[in-house]
């Protein structure tokens, strides 16, 4: 199993609206892509910003490619992301999942 990890930062005032937007865009697309095994959306507030960390789980790197395309290290963004995010981080990271709930 592969974990794809993306990070983004919004102003704190836009955090709730961005979460709603995430659910309609990236999270929805993750879940509808063959080979997706789930997604965690994590958020923390600090100073006047909100950090978002999305951890999506995939059966393989081929499954990740079905979502991200051939350049799997590039972050995937949606049209309104620029209205919410402080910056568009260009890359994501991938990890092999060695242990976790339901993984033996």
pLDDT tens figures, 71-90: 999 999 999 999 999 999 99
Q: Tell me which residue of 80, 95, 93, 74 sits closest to 18, measured CA to CA.
A: 80
Is residue 94 scored above 70 in pLDDT? yes
Return the domain boundaries, the chain.
2-96
pTM, entire model: 0.92
2-96 is classed CATH 3.40.140.10: no
Residue 4: half-sphere exposure toward Cβ, Cα within 13 Å = 29
Judged on CB neighbours under 10 Å (0-12, 13-18, 19+), 22 is buried
């Amino acid at each position: 199993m592969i974990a794809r990890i993306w990070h983004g930062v919004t102003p704190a005032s836009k955090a709730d609206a961005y979460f709603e937007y995430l659910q309609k865009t990236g999270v929805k697309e993750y879940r509808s892509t063959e080979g997706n095994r789930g997604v965690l959306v994590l958020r923390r507030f600090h100073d006047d910003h909100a950090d978002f960390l999305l951890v999506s789980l995939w059966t393989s790197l081929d499954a990740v490619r079905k979502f991200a395309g051939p350049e799997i290290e590039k972050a995937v963004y949606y049209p309104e992301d620029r209205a919410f995010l402080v910056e568009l981080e260009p890359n994501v990271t991938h990890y092999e999942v060695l242990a976790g709930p339901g993984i033996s």
